[in-house]
Amino acid sequence: MPAFFASIGDLSVRTKAKIVDLFAGAGGFSLAAKNAGCDIIFAVENDRHAAKTYRRNLCSLSCDLPTEIYTDDIRTMNPEAVAKKHFGDGLDCDLLLGGPPCQGFSTHRINDSGVDDPRNALIYSYFDFVKALQPRAFLMENVPGLLWPRHAEYLNKFYYLAKKAGYTTFDPCQLDARDYGVPQRRKRVFVLGIKNTSDCDGINWPPPPSHTSDETDDCLKGWIACEKAFAPMPADDPNASHMNHGPELTTAFMNTPANGGSRRDSGRVLPCHKTHDGHKDVYGRIDSRLPAPTMTTACINPSKGRFVHPVENHGITVRQAARIQTFPDNFVFEGGLTAAGKQIGNAVPIKLGEVLIKEILRSLSAKSDANMPIGNRQLEEVY
């Protein structure tokens, strides 16, 4: 765990990194931070089902400092007041996380659709908290569409605000989760800013991939297949449910070859398919021998993508989708099937989040260690 130090009199003691998570959803980023050895001071999420999931799984965990979740619309909150409440006694915010809603930046939109989507401006609400909290670093996640030229105005302004606030920023990096040990093809953009230039020394950003499709590369592991996501689930798992399908659709699934079969293979042809043959993955089976397709907010609905079980004749369950996102089986999603699917699709994969957070904290903690007097460093090691 990265070492951070807080002064008590003339001594310094080891403490955990203090994290804030905005647009927290069900808590994928927060859980990654917890696994990296951090304390989440507070989170903001106004979707009631996601907030209930977050509260159940993350606010009840034992930790040095309890996590508080705000369910307000972030645009109505007073960042300065919240910052003073949680960090007004000399406590510093080490890292601010967050993934502002991405619908306006989604890459499936055509022409200039989404350019004027009011949700795009939520990245500025995120930055209001950067200014109020003055974290040592911030990490923002979004969809690849954020990098499209039609959205350049939003991203350029965000970088301008960061520079004006004194942050060293790194070029936005697009990462694929399967390159970091996640059993899923999932590309997302991450924007990192670090407050003190000296904290950037030695940071390896973005972290180099640990997995690859080229199994001849002895330095990297091969991509991870998603087969373990379909291991048996406990009968009492509240998230072991899937959509119920009518006889016609069930028959089509029965006719779809295992592990990667498509709707074309099933012989089921709808009127729309005669004039438009796009969306070839719809009603297709996941191939468990490969990384899974991206878990979207509709990942439990086979009509929205390749979300049919590899061998069984139904869509994937909430638990299977969660496993693909590397959530542990004891993480319970609230709100029912559709709400749970949305929470999973919006989440940062836990294993990917851990890799990114650990690299940032490694750089920050190296500076903390270097600034700590030798006597205090030795004392901390004794305790």
Residues annotated as catalytic are: 102
The dihedral over CA atoms of 116, 119, 125, 127, expressed in degrees to the nearest 10, equals -70
Structure tokens at 131: 């200014």
C-alpha distances in Å from residue 174, one per residue of 151, 162, 182, 205, 383: 15, 19, 15, 12, 41
Question: What residue type is 59 in one-letter code?
Answer: C
Pairing of strands 68-70, 39-44: parallel
Instruction: Please give the distance of CA 281 from its chain centroid, rounded to a whole number.
Output: 24
| Residue 169 CB neighbours (<10 A) | 16
C-alpha distances in Å from residue 282, one per residue of 243, 300, 311, 317, 318: 15, 12, 16, 17, 18
CB contact at 8 A, 347 and 307: no
CA within 13 Å, CB half, 341: 19
Q: Helix crossing, 122-133 with 152-164: angle to 10°?
A: 10
End-to-end Cα separation, the chain, in angstroms: 16
CB contact at 8 A, 126 and 23: yes
| Helix-then-strand count for the chain, H and E | 12, 12
CB contact at 8 A, 254 and 245: no
Question: What residue type is 57 in one-letter code?
Answer: N
- In sign, the C-alpha dihedral spanning 243, 249, 254, 256 is negative
Strands (E), the chain: 4-8, 11-15, 18-22, 39-44, 68-70, 95-98, 137-142, 168-169, 173-176, 187-194, 211-212, 221-222
Alpha-carbon distance of 180 to 186, in angstroms, equals 11
